Structure 1
Amino acid sequence: MKTNIKLFAVAVIALVATVYTANAEIKPYKELDSKEVVMNYVGASLLENANYTKEMFTEDFEYSNTSNKEKFGKKEYVKHLKSLKNLKYNATQSFEIMDQVGNTAVGKVIMNFDNFTRVDYITLSQTTEGWKISKVVTTYP
């Protein structure tokens, strides 16, 4: 009888845990600081790591490229990053958080390729879901 009760208790606990996990919202950036979010951006843009790309950006995200005057919203840019999934760029990268005041931070990512350098200036906002990227401006100095 004790074995049946223990078995039943384990089954109930497992069922509750499974239901809770299945219904839990995924908020991968909730506990990350601004520097870790920029590291994830580098991973998505250079190192074919496109996990949780959609959650990395605010809903009003804007990407702009100063060399060709292109601008994209969140949907187009996430699609672009996901298209890079099987590509691995041969570039060295460095990044820093240039300034952080209150709920806003500005980061800089430098990507050195063989023939050119790309610099992304990243604006981050702290939301209820953690730090998110609200704007990326790409330059080629």
Structure 2
Amino acid sequence: MKKQKGERLNCTVSAYILEESADYMVAKVTLKFENFTKTDLVTLVQEGNSWKVSNSINSHK
């Protein structure tokens, strides 16, 4: 993802928080392209004053 920083993708993005607590959250992020859809389940943890991705599971349809 760091290599793609600043890149624009030709897709529709939706994101939903599935579970949230004071120091972690699980989100579902869907990127819908013209010919396929990519879905990520992302776990984020709070470190200090910022959120960091600790795990990401993705699938393509």
TM range (shorter): 0.7 to 0.9
Aligned residue in 2 for 1:94: 14
User: Aligned residue for 1:121?
Assistant: 41
Give 2:4's aligned residue.
81
Q: CA deviation at 1:99?
A: 0.4
Residues 1-57 of structure 1: CA distance to partner in whole angstroms, max 9, x if unpaired?
xxxxxxxxxxxxxxxxxxxxxxxxxxxxxxxxxxxxxxxxxxxxxxxxxxxxxxxxx
**TM-score, reference length from structure 2:** 0.80
The structure carrying a bigger helix percent of its residues is 1
**Which segments of 5 or more consecutive residues in structure 1 lack a partner in the other structure?**
1-76
RMSD: 1.7
Percent of aligned pairs with the same residue? 31
**TM-score, structure 1 normalization:** 0.39
**What letter is aligned with 1:107?**
A
- List alignment gaps of at least 5 residues for structure 2: none
Tell me whether 110-119 or 88-97 shows the greater mean CA deviation: 88-97
Q: Report the count of equivalent residues.
A: 61
* 1:104 aligns to 2:20 (yes or no): no
**Which residue of the partner structure matches residue 139 of structure 1?**
59
Shift in Å, 1:129: 3.2
Give 1 or 2: higher strand fraction: 2
CA distance in structure 2 between the partners assigned to 1:120 and 1:91 by the alignment: 14
Q: Which ranges of 4 or more aligned residues in structure 1 deviate by more than 6 Å? A: none
